[in-house]
Every structure is written in structure tokens, then in C-alpha cells.
Structure 1
């Protein structure tokens, strides 16, 4: 039985193609075919008296989160990874198969293999070595081309999905209810992932609803307060914030046109009548934030973001935006301007270690420096960091836990 592998972490690096044997390339192709185009399961016939009870299987993919932004560089070279046969269990196959980043990497790898195959085929051993011949390598190339064609013919988008959330409150009052449309991902554009609700935003929304005072929502419930959400995606955090802060002005931002259209639709679904004007939806390019947009003029008392770092540059772009838009203020001021930022800790795949870039660009608050300094320094610092365990049924397979940062001025 062919074992299934993760494309990003297991496919042989193409820069070293000449060093890979026929067997290693065959295994890689077999692994991709097993993952994306598995054979139909054999028909099982059971005698009535020996029938096996059916097992409950939840086919829904766990939630996850990558907020949309600019696409990756269009290098001819596929991003390399260490050659390791990282096998996965049956419970993760559905999640892996539906991951747009893994799929995109697999397609790029196959394309790169075909482009570079001429040299690899020509370097076949002159004397047959364990079946490794010019003819066999040519057949492997044909297999790769066939597999790539299968991807092209399998690019049907998944249907949109309406999701109903009910977040409990610790105090009086019923649960906070939110209905969101998770749009179908665009198979040709990975930046459209903001069309779906991912785990980080769900976890932060849940914590806000359970204990809004821990996020100073009680102090911010007054006219004139402005809130900005970066990489809003489906708008969950902005909509939840509006439930607790009816007097606040909320600006929900994202980049991809389809994401923005879906975001506006979700705001309309959850806010009725004049309440809809509380949340306005706008385009925001983190790498080039607007300087003359009336909706971004002035400053914001609170900034929210969930799982918006999946490229080494993103943390720095986010910091630049927060520096530009978060209201200045520290010391004994109450409420203190704050940036709430949650990000998953991923241990495998393309986004492994992205969480570390946050702490590389935001320094950690040191009370001894603040108390001993005679000069007020205006710098964004991490004032608090909480790690949140992953729960069953929420989050991608590569998300081990989550980190919630409280960031502000010192």
C-alpha cells in the first residue's frame, strides 16, 4: 500500500534533481497520486451475520487561517524542502488533500520536474542499475505529465458554506450568534484563502465573548472609539466586536476583491438597518498603506488581527501598519491603545516558524527599562503573550497551538 506524504515537506528539491535516483522520483509521483487521485476503494461484501457496525466519520475539514495578501514570488524555482518521507495518518488525509498551499506546491513541483527532466533523463546510468535506464526515466516523465494533466482537469472549486457560530458568555445574556458565508476557494489564486473562517479568528472571538473585560471592551464602549481589523477575511472579529461595542466605529480590511465582497455580504447578514454603518469594509495593502484615505485618517484605539503572517515580510508590514494607525498613548492612560494579535504555531510545512517573525520585529516589554528611563520612548512592544492549546475539531493538522499577543506603546 502506497503511503501518503506531505508535498511541501517531502518532495525532492529540484535544484538537486541530478542527484535523485529513479526510485526516489517514482516514489514522489506515487505519493502525489495516492494523495490527490487515490483509486476507488474495493467493494466489500459482508455476510449479514458478520456485518460490521458503521463508524461515525466527520468529513468536515478543521478550520484554519491564512489571511489574504500579495501572492508569493513567481520564481521559476520551486521552494525547496528537506527530503524526508513524512507520513500522515488517515485522519489527516482529508485536511491535507484540501490544503490549497500543498496542492499549489505539488503542481509547481510537477511543472518544474518536467521542465528540468531533459538533463535528468540524459544522466541515466550507461549500464542498467536496478532498472534505472534512459527508457525508464522517460516513462517516469510521461507519468509526471499525466499527473499534471489530472490536476488541470480536477480544478473544480468547493461549494460555499454557511456557518453558524454560537459563542457563550460568562456573564448575563445569551450566546453571541454570528452567521458567516465561507466562500469557495479559488483554485487558481491562493490569496483568496480569506474567503474562509480559520481557527485563529474563531478562538479569539470565543475568548472575547467569554471575557470581554480581559480585552478592555468595557472601557472602549463609548462614542468616538475606532477599531481596525487587519486581514479581516470573513469578518468574524469585526462582527463580534460590534456586538460588544455598539458605539465604536469599526474598519474591516482585506486585500483580495473576492474576499472583500464576501466580507461585505457577511457584515450585511449580521448587522441590520442603521447598524450596518458601524462596520465599513475597505481595501488595505500592508506593503503600501494609503496616505490619503478619509477612512484611515486619525488613529485607532484598538487593532485586531488573526493569522495574518505567512511570509517572512508580513510581520514587518503588519508592524508598519500598526505604527501608522494605532493611537499613540502609554503610561497611566486608560484605556491604553492596544493591538490584539493571534497566530498559530505551525511545526511543519511552508509556514513553519512564521510565528517567530512576530517576536523578531516586535520587542518584548521590559518594565525595568521603562521605569529607569527618563525619556519616553515611542515603540511598539509585546506586553503579554499567552499560548492557547489546540482543541479537537478546530484548526488545521499542522497547527499545534496558538499564541495571543497583546501589543502596545511604551
Structure 2
């Protein structure tokens, strides 16, 4: 009977980062799959390996052994002996795997390699043949997912991030947030962490609140602010702290922080609760594709809508345009939206979808101004070249 293949130690299996640009997609996928099978095997993967049955995606696993039908090649009267041998093989394999998984040096090497790989990912993606650019980017996402898995498995405590933004008068605006580990099995949970675009917009809100409409409303009633795709709530909490410094307002401002993913909403509520010295912030679920503007708090228009890094699929910009059309106050309401400009993969060129969704030809809400901003050192993904900030409002007339 063919013996089961084992995952290989990271020090042997991971390609040298200094030669990363020469590594093929298959080499990197094999290396990443080896890490996942070694450190985070699912019951399904374990079961499939033990049964030794091939699957359509089997090429993704680092398995160099010959395919095995699962039948022993010996005579039928030797089947019992073969079963005993197989049992011993599995026991020995499990013991060897456990020793490898608990090797601190190998584990540290794997984590260091993943950090280095993601930091150099832009160079590697740029070396991809044109048809494989998206696949290369997906491999980088897999590496980020694995790194988050390592982080989550080593500590159950989420990371607390403290932000301090300069503001008029000299006293900084300070915000403390819980950045939860990404859910490695769910790519839609990106809102569990604070992204560079939201940090950059928060800095600008603090530096010049009046420019971004955080003054007195031109309508009757209190100022109403909505954040789309709030994630950790950095922008909403920053706005609440800015408004808390002003004179008491009657009625008080209304700030609504929205997202869609259940785990993101739970973390968002946690962050709002931990910053309890600010104006009350409402945390609500909002589906951009089907916004319900008939029930509170969405039954009244908003003076200011904020959105940071919310366009990561081609359909998102048009969804947001439809959503804003229903929720933005007329005639002076403004949407401030900032997106990352990415250099490759499936996120490249998404800024053009914003231009199409809010074009002059379509009427209604449209781009009034836009500005390209430089990347922040030490923040953001490797493929983020910069950011574009849009001021979007109602077309005149």
C-alpha cells in the first residue's frame, strides 16, 4: 500500500524570499497549502487524506505521492495485515505531524516568512503573466488569511489600537479601537480591522471639521451623519468626539454606523460601547443593494455620509450610488468617500466604477470634486499605491 504523504517543515518547503519574483504561482500555492495542512487542518482535509481519495482541487495540496485507488495490491487473504500496517502508518504520521506542529522554531519561521511574503507581494504580483494576475492576488490573500490564523491561534485577545489625530486648538482627538483578527474562512469579514483609508479620512475630519460638513446643518433639526461600511467604527467615533467638543446642540446630532457582516457589527458595537464618553452612536445593519429607507433611523435624510474603502467589487459603487440617492439630504448633503488605489489583481481599476456610478450623465448624486492622496507609510496593504477622495453631492438644478 502506498504510504500517505506528509506536510513538509516550513524551513524546507518555503521558497527563499530573495528569489520570490522567480517563484511560480504553483510553487507559492503549494507552499501556502503545506502551511495550512500542517498547522490548520480541517476535519474534512484530514478525512480525505486518510481515505486517500483524489478531488478536483487536489493539485493545491502539497502531495507528491502517486495517486492511490485505495485498494491494496496484495492478495485478498493479506487484507487484514495491510489494514494493520495502514493503522500503524497513520499513527506514526499523526505523531510526526504533532511534533512538527509544536516545533516553535518552525512555527516562528513560517510566521516570519508570511510577513515577508505579504510585504513583498506587490513585486511578486507585478511579475505575474497577465492572465494570472488575479490568481496571484488571491494567493496573497491566502497568505494574509494564514497570517491572521496564526495571530488568532496564538492569542485570544484582540489588538487594541490607539489613534491620535491633530485638531484645531492643539488638543488631539483620541480614539481607541478593538481590531479583531480576520476570519480566515470568510473574506467578507474585512471590516474587523481598521484600514489605512479610514485613518487618512479621520485625520482630515479632525484637521478641518467645517470643510466636511460637521458644523450646523442647513436643514431644520440636528445634524445627521451616516457611515457606510463602518467596520471598526473609526470614522463614526471620530465624528462623535469632534462634535462632543462643540457647543451643546438641540436637538443633538445623530450618528449612525452601519455594516452588514454579523461579526463586524458585533465588533463595531463593542468599539462604540468602549468609547462611551461621546454622543450616542447607533449601530445598524445596512445592505447597500437593498437599503430600507422606510424605517428608522433611515427614514430621514443624512447631512453627511462617510465611506472608507467600501468598493472592493465592481457592483459596490452602483449599490452605494443607489443607497446614497435614497439617504442623502437635499440639496446640500454630501457623501465623502475614500478608496484605495490598488496596483493589481481583482481590485485594480475599481476607482473607475465610482466615476461611472456617480457620473454627470446619470444625474442625481454625482462627483463634485476628487483628490488623489499619497500612501501613508506603515499603513495599508502592499498593493495600495495611494487613495482617491471623492466629494459627492446632488447635481445643481
What TM-score results when the alignment is normalised by the length of structure 1?
0.61
Contact kept in structure 2, 1:162 and 1:181, CA below 8 Å: yes
**2:394 is the counterpart of 1:396:** no
CA separation in 1, counterparts of 2:24 and 2:134? 5
Matched with 2:209 is 212
Q: Give CA deviations for 1:135-187 in whole Å, capped at 9, x if unaligned.
A: xxxxxxxxxxxxxxxx9x99948751001111111x21410000000112112
Name the SS of the counterpart of 2:231 in structure 1.
coil
Name the SS of the counterpart of 1:293 in structure 2.
coil
Q: Where do 1:133-282 residues align within 5 Å?
A: 156=153, 159=156, 160-169=158-167, 171-220=168-217, 223-246=221-244, 247-272=252-277, 275=278, 278-282=280-284
Q: Residue 157 and residue 216 in structure 1: after superposition, are their counterparts in 2 closer, same or farther (change >3 A)? A: same
Q: How many residues align?
A: 288
Whichever structure has more helix as a proportion of its residues is: 2
Q: Residue 190 and residue 341 in structure 1: after superposition, are their counterparts in 2 closer, same or farther (change >3 A)? A: same
Q: Residue 241 and residue 206 in structure 1: after superposition, are their counterparts in 2 closer, same or farther (change >3 A)? A: same
**290-299 or 194-203: which moved more?**
290-299
CA separation in 2, counterparts of 1:29 and 1:299? 48
**2:79 is the counterpart of 1:83:** no
Contact kept in structure 2, 1:383 and 1:406, CA below 8 Å: yes
Matched with 1:338 is 334
Contact kept in structure 1, 2:343 and 2:385, CA below 8 Å: yes
Structure scoring higher RCO (CA < 8 A, sep ≥ 6) equals 1
Structure 1 residue ranges without an equivalent (≥5): 12-24, 44-57, 63-79, 105-150, 330-335, 366-376
Contact kept in structure 1, 2:133 and 2:344, CA below 8 Å: no
Name the SS of the counterpart of 1:82 in structure 2.
helix
Matched with 1:386 is 371
Matched with 2:15 is 2
Matched with 2:325 is 323
Pick from 290, 293, 296: which aligns with 1:294?
Answer: 296
CA separation in 2, counterparts of 1:354 and 1:259? 23
Name the SS of the counterpart of 2:160 in structure 1.
strand
Q: Residue 282 and residue 85 in structure 1: after superposition, are their counterparts in 2 closer, same or farther (change >3 A)? A: closer
Name the SS of the counterpart of 1:319 in structure 2.
helix
Q: CA deviation at 1:269?
A: 1.1
What TM-score results when the alignment is normalised by the length of structure 2?
0.63
Contact kept in structure 1, 2:134 and 2:346, CA below 8 Å: no
CA separation in 2, counterparts of 1:339 and 1:216? 10
Q: CA deviation at 1:394?
A: 1.3
Q: CA deviation at 1:268?
A: 1.1
Name the SS of the counterpart of 1:350 in structure 2.
helix
Q: Give CA deviations for 1:260-307 in whole Å, capped at 9, x if unaligned.
A: 1111111111123xx55x210000011111243221111111110000
Q: CA deviation at 1:85?
A: 12
CA separation in 1, counterparts of 2:203 and 2:371? 15
Pick from 342, 358, 361: which aligns with 2:357?
Answer: 361
Q: Where do 1:297-312 residues align within 5 Å?
A: 297-312=299-314
Matched with 1:352 is 348
CA separation in 1, counterparts of 2:143 and 2:155? 9
CA separation in 1, counterparts of 2:202 and 2:151? 35
What's the C-alpha RMSD, in Å, of the aligned pairs? 4.0
Contact kept in structure 1, 2:166 and 2:203, CA below 8 Å: yes
Q: Give CA deviations for 1:209-245 in whole Å, capped at 9, x if unaligned.
A: 1122221323449951111110000111111111222
